[in-house]
Chains A and B, each alone.
Chain A
Amino acid sequence: MSAQPDLLYSEEEEALRAAVRDLLADHCDAPGVIARTESDAPHDLAAWKALSDGMGLAGLLVPESLGGQGATHREVAVVLEELGRAVAPVPYLTSAVVATEALLALGDEELLGRLASGRSIGALAVGLHTAPGAAVQAVHVEGGLLQGELSGIADAAAADVLLVPADDGGLYAVDASAVTITPQVSLDLTRPLATLTFADAPGRRLGDAEPAVRRGLRAGAGLLASEQLGLAEWALTETVRYLKERKQFNRPVGGFQAIKHRLAQLWLEVVNLRAVARGAADALASGEDADLAVAVAQAYAAGVAVHAAEEALQLHAGIGMTWEHPIHLYLKRAKADSIAYGSAGAHRTAVAELVDLRAP
């Protein structure tokens, strides 16, 4: 058996968590997030700037020699837990993880430096639903000019540079200003999707798309579990807090056993999710067993995050159904996350391959 992953948090990681949580408390309160989703600019670029410029977090995965922090997926996972807890509308997972990992596979120093500093936001132009290793849509390329349309691209509206797979097998860097970016009406208001239209858009070929896309999506899928953990923790904690206060029938509602058992069950799922999300982050950091750890995490995490958000809504009842209460932001994010970077079913199929439990 291979070595066991380190599933705990270090003191440094807890300090990082506290700093990110403080920052988000100042920048990213729920009413503000709701108001922003109703504007033309759903992304919170002030929060992004504070995280990337102020704290240098956009460069966690980038080596110091390229202007990054030279940290690991373990630290990124902690940041994502806090971003999930706040349903923060920042392009962190898409730019600092997925696009950055794709660039790390290709070794493009100039772009890595820009993304690491947070000066530029990057987006991998692959539909958010795509699982690692799945086939991707490509645009047509001729003489360095790109033609075609790609849809379902997360956080493209905030991106400065797009990493675009083309039909010659290459991945191209395209300046966002050279592309028509049309927002799609998205289920998840805090991680909006867009359609990209390329009409003779100039691009720079960075290298082969397949390994870069696969690496980006694998890191995205694995670390998404940490976002889902933060989200589920928020839902559980808020619901427990509310039900200790909310009274019906002359008792706190949280004292009814039917409710207590559901919350205890949810707690159990969150405890499991924490272990498996840590497992995936550690495996990505060490490179050992990473494909399986990521597939296991994503086969499990979505169900818990969705369950937590759905329970939060049901147990807050009327107030939980309102636009004013932030639960809907979490429900929409959780449900979208259950499709992002591959569904649980797609990841179970991957598990079957990896551990030799073949289909009939």
Chain B
Amino acid sequence: MTIDAAELQRRTAELLAAHPPATTDRLDFLKARFDAGLAWVHYPQGLGGLGAPRSLQVVVDAELEAAGAPDNDPRRIGIGLGMAAPTILKYGTEEQKQRFLRPLWVGEEVWCQLFSEPGAGSDLAALGTRAVRESGGDWVVNGQKVWTSSAHVARWAILIARTDPDLPKHAGITYFLCDMTDPGVEVRPLRQVTGEAEFNEVFLTDVRIPDAHRLGEVGDGWRVAQTTLNNERVAIGGMRLPREGGMIGPVSGTWRERPELRTHDLHQRLLKLWVEAEVARLTAERLRQQLVAGQPGPEGAGMKLAFARLNQEISGLEVELLGAEGLLYDDWTMRRPELVDFTGREAGYRYLRSKGNSIEGGTSEVLLNIVAERVLGLPSEPRTDKDVAWKDLAR
């Protein structure tokens, strides 16, 4: 049968009737929603979806929101939803899909991403964490990862490791699903410029990963990782941002409520940023409308760049606007939050945390390369490392 908007509305109504949100436990509701195929409708039947067009998810979401249904807190499980899931769906075995997707989607199991290393950031494929196969077939992993968001709350990780140092760097990598409760996994808080430790260093010492938790073929990890990374960059989803919905909101509010802080110079800069924030909101809305219409454009690649710059400029302006108060900071206590909380904290925090927006998920410089090469078709950077064995590369 073809699944159209009307059919999805019918199924959503059925779900709501069988599991009234008011009287159903949150997790039970989410599981029922997954089992009804209304979690991510474009996923296959039995895996939380119905094989429907991706653009129709908004129909389900709108109905459920109107009915006050609980949601699966997508921000808390963003890495799992946005990155692990599409990769498992594309490369996973049937057992892996059955085992991992449901607890991932309902949020029972949080995921993190063990990709970046101290010596391999932008040049991710240069990574040195080693996975060596034992005669029994299991893998033994040793190495160090860094900047790992959510590692302290994660149950599972997507991990890339080097399985053949004699091959050129892209060819010798394999992709694994790593159990974060394994005794060889040590997570240490990485305190950042804001004072808190939202991130971690992860030390992997003789971590045993069964071959059943390998994703994709041995040596094919870089290709598998491309799926993850491409999904990381399109993560800007179906969200509708209201006017002043982003960082421009708090600073505009302060401007209106505190006339004594106003200066002519700040007024000009605020107006310029207000306009740019409104323009970026319209661009995001246009991208969303393209997705819904089934014509995704390349604009997503640019949105992360735009929001990173805006967040930084706006929060910088906000600190200045506050003048004497801008010299203060709300709290330097070292904490380990589960989530980044931009709006629950003050301007100084926003200013410092937003510096990460142009680094996390690929730096702005690297994203500009990607736009230039993939969108505009300009020649790629000259490569000197292509045919050299990883072990012979300068490090």
**A interface residues (Cβ-Cβ under 8 A, vs B):** 1, 4-8, 240, 243-244, 251-252, 254-255, 257, 259-261, 263-265, 267-268, 271-276, 278-279, 296, 299-300, 348-349, 351-352, 355-360
CA distance A349 to B275 in the complex (A): 11
B19-27, B231-239, B266-274 - interface stretch: B266-274
Contact sample, A vs B, 29 pairs, CB 8 Å cutoff: A1-B242, A7-B282, A7-B285, A8-B286, A8-B290, A240-B377, A240-B378, A244-B378, A251-B382, A252-B379, A255-B378, A260-B369, A260-B376, A260-B378, A261-B372, A263-B376, A264-B368, A264-B376, A268-B302, A268-B306, A272-B282, A274-B283, A276-B282, A348-B272, A355-B274, A358-B256, A358-B259, A360-B259, A360-B262
A296 touches B285 (CB 8 A): no
Also in contact, A7 and B286, with CB within 8 A (given A264-B371, A264-B376, A357-B252):
yes
Q: List A contacts of B242 (CB < 8 A).
A: 1
Report yes or no: B369 in contact with A257, Cβ–Cβ below 8 A.
yes
B345 at the interface (CB under 8 A from A): no
Whether B227 sits at the interface, judged by CB under 8 Å, is: no
B264 close to A (CB within 8 Å): yes
A275 to B289 CA separation, bound complex (whole angstroms): 11
CB pair A279 B372 closer than 8 Å:
no
CB proximity of B181 to chain A, nearest CB, Å: 42
CB-contacts of B339-395 with A (<8 A): 365, 368-369, 371-373, 375-382
With CB as the reference atom, state the residue of chain B lying closest to A299: B275
Most chain A beta-carbon contacts within 10 A, residue among B278, B290, B293: B278
State whether A357 touches B255 (Cβ < 8 A): yes
Distance (whole angstroms) from the CB of A70 to the closest CB of chain B? 25
Residues of B close to A296: CB separation below 8 A: 275, 278-279
Quick one: which of A6, A257, A264, A272 contacts B381, CB cutoff 8 A? Answer: A257
Interface pair A300/B262, CB less than 8 Å apart: no
How many Å lie between the Cα of A244 and that of B275 in the bound state? 33
Given contacts A1-B243, A351-B275, A352-B271, contact A244 B285 (CB under 8 A): no
Contact assessment for B285 and A275 in the assembled complex, using a CB-CB cutoff below 8 Å = yes
Nearest B residue (CB) for A347: B275
Would A275 and B271 count as touching, CB distance under 8 A?
A: no
Chain A's nearest CB lies how many Å from the CB of B323?
A: 13
Q: Tell me the minimal C-beta distance from B30 to chain A in angstroms.
A: 28
CA distance A261 to B242 in the complex (A): 30
Q: Is B135 an interface residue (CB 8 A)?
A: no
B260 nearest in chain A by CB position: A360
Chain B: CB-nearest residue to A236: B376
Check B376–A351 contact: CB distance below 8 A. no
Q: Are A272 and B377 in contact (CB under 8 A)?
A: no
B interface, size bucket: 35 or more
- The smallest C-beta distance from A234 to any residue of chain B, in angstroms, reads 15
Residue contact B271 to A351, C-beta cutoff 8 Å: yes
Whether B376 pairs with A251 at a CB distance below 8 angstroms is: no
Within 8 Å by CB of B267, from A260, A273, A278, A359, lies: A359
Dominant secondary structure of chain B at its interface with chain A: helix
Q: In this assembly, does B167 line the interface, its C-beta being within 8 Å of a C-beta of chain A? A: no
Q: Are A276 and B305 in contact (CB under 8 A)?
A: no
Q: Which residues does chain B contribute within 8 Å of A271, judged by CB atoms?
A: 283, 299, 302
The answer to the question of B276 belonging to the interface, with a C-beta cut-off of 8 Å to chain A, is: yes
Q: How far is the CB of A85 from chain B (nearest CB, A)?
A: 17
Tell me if B381 and A360 are in contact (CB < 8 A). Answer: no
Cross-chain contact A254 with B267 (CB below 8 angstroms): no
B2 at the interface (CB under 8 A from A): no
Q: Within the assembled complex, what's the spacing in Å between the Cα atoms of A222 and B286?
A: 18
Q: Report the nearest B residue to A303, measured CB to CB.
A: B272
Known: A4-B289, A5-B285, A240-B377. 16 other contacts (CB 8 A): A8-B290, A8-B295, A244-B377, A254-B378, A254-B379, A255-B379, A263-B372, A267-B375, A268-B306, A272-B279, A272-B282, A275-B286, A276-B279, A278-B286, A300-B279, A355-B274
Q: B153 contacts the other chain (Cβ, under 8 Å)?
A: no
Whether B282 contacts A267 by the Cβ 8 Å rule is: no
CB-CB < 8 A to B282: which residues of A? 5, 7, 272, 275-276, 278-279
Closest approach, in angstroms, between the C-beta of A355 and any C-beta of chain B? 7
B 278-310 contacts with A by CB, 8 A? 278-280, 282-283, 285-286, 289-290, 293, 295, 299, 302, 305-306
Task: Return the chain A residue nearest B381 by Cβ.
Answer: A257
A4 to B240, CA, bound (A): 9
A350 to B20, CA, bound (A): 49
Q: Judging by beta carbons under 8 Å apart, are B256 and A357 in contact?
A: yes
Nearest-neighbour CB distance to chain B for A242, whole angstroms, equals 11
- A255 to B274 alpha-carbon distance, docked (Å): 34
A357 to chain B, nearest CB (A): 6
- Take A257-B381, A272-B283 as given contacts and tell me if A359 and B264 are in contact as well, using a CB distance cutoff of 8 Å: yes
